[in-house]
Amino acid sequence: MSATIIDGKQVAASVTEAVKSVTTALEKDASVKPGLAVVIVGNDPASHAYVSSKSRMAKECGFNSIQHTLPEETTQEELARLVETLNADESIHGILVQLPLPKHLDADPIIQSIRPDKDVDGLHVVNAGKVATGDLDGGLVSCTPAGAMVFVRRTHGDDLSGLNAVVIGRSNLFGKPMSALLLAANATVTTAHSRTKDLPAVCRNADILVAAVGRAEMVKADWVKPGATVIDVGINRVPAPEKGEGKSRLVGDVAFDEIAKLAGVITPVPGGVGPMTIAMLMANTVIAAQRAYG
Ligand code: GUN
């Protein structure tokens, strides 16, 4: 058996097409253009690449797309003041502060100072709390888990009753909200992490296995139940001497080639969850804009 490979770019394109239609209607009916402000501090090349993709897609969706690029030496107070300004700006419906921030800055008070109704990352405790309590319509759901759930629903439907789901990773950005979303859809959920005993055995129990550990190809074929749905959230750069000296390539947290032979469904890296994160950010921004003029 070999797995069905999910085309994340194609699914993401259908989400962004829907976002574009809503954006057009909002402009026509209410003269409102969704506004997304993306804030990046410092020089991390990977973060700059992500932020450029987000800003570019926001423009493509017809948004008012604003990028604030702040120097590495920005102070906590300067960043806090920018968030305050964006909170008060009526033309901005979504605010995203790219993480990680430089080490001298404390991300949590910054994230918690974003107005929850503009928190299109879904990281404010109000939004995280809504997801944790199963209120999925009132707030804004964190983009990467929301995107991963689109794949899960397309494979298994809306009701995951009777299915075992294992999420490897317990971060606030992904693992915790992912587990909460699976639970809200009636899956039986295990949140595994670095202190979990016999992780391969725990994973072998999963009908839906979601890996977000940040370690290249850590999940091996003998960790996977035949026929399982495997969602790979990792993006790891590894050396690729076969492409030439000093070259690298991107791989996920799962050993794709060997697992694709036995899984039922699998997401590739790149081209799986990654494009969905950006698409769901666009969806959250248009939802925030709609609610502002509700
Ligand atoms: N860094 C990596 N992924 C994300 C994300 O989804 N949101 C933010 N704000 N920072 C990130």
CATH number for 29-117 (one of 3.30.200.20, 3.40.50.970, 3.40.50.10860, 3.40.50.300): it is 3.40.50.10860
- The one-letter amino acid code at 106 reads D
Looking at residue 115, its pLDDT comes to 98
- pLDDT tens, residue order, the chain (294 aa): 699 999 999 999 999 999 999 999 999 999 999 999 999 999 999 999 999 999 999 999 999 999 999 999 999 999 999 999 999 999 999 999 999 999 999 999 999 999 999 999 999 999 999 999 999 999 999 999 999 999 999 999 999 999 999 999 999 999 999 999 999 999 999 999 999 999 999 999 999 999 999 999 999 999 999 999 999 999 999 999 999 999 999 999 999 999 999 999 999 999 999 999 999 999 999 999 999 987
pLDDT in tens, 33-52: 999 999 999 999 999 999 99
**Exposed/middle/buried for 145, CB within 10 Å: 0-12, 13-18, 19+?**
buried
Nearest to 50 by CA among 67, 62, 35, 63: 67
Active-site residue, 98 included: yes
> Which member of 117, 118, 119, 121 is catalytic?
121
DSSP 270: S
Atom of ligand 1 nearest to the CA of 97: 9
Active-site residue, 130 included: no
Q: Where in the chain is the domain with CATH 3.40.50.720?
A: 143-273
Cα 68 to averaged position of ligand 1 atoms, centre (Å): 15
Which token pair is 191?
């949140």
Distance CA 86, CA 63 (A): 16
Looking at residue 65, its pLDDT comes to 98
Cα 2 to averaged position of ligand 1 atoms, centre (Å): 32
Fold of 143-273: Rossmann fold (3.40.50)
Nearest to 269 by CA among 144, 160, 122, 123: 144
The pairing of beta strand 236-239 with beta strand 248-251: antiparallel
270 prior amide bond cis, ω within 30: yes
User: Would you mind telling me the total number of residues written for the chain in this entry?
Assistant: 294
142 lines ligand 1 (CB under 6 A): no
* Binding-site positions: 169-171, 235
Looking at residue 1, its pLDDT comes to 65
Looking at residue 294, its pLDDT comes to 74
Distance CA 140, CA 285 (A): 9
Cα 277 to averaged position of ligand 1 atoms, centre (Å): 9
Active-site residue, 137 included: no
128 lines ligand 1 (CB under 6 A): no
Atom of ligand 1 nearest to the CA of 111: 9
Is the ipTM higher than 0.85? The answer is yes
121 lines ligand 1 (CB under 6 A): yes
Q: Whose CA is nearest to atom 2 of ligand 1?
A: 99
Cα 223 to averaged position of ligand 1 atoms, centre (Å): 28
Looking at residue 293, its pLDDT comes to 86
In whole angstroms, how far apart are CA 108 and each of 46, 48, 133? 21, 20, 21
Q: Where in the chain is the domain with CATH 3.40.50.10860?
A: 29-117
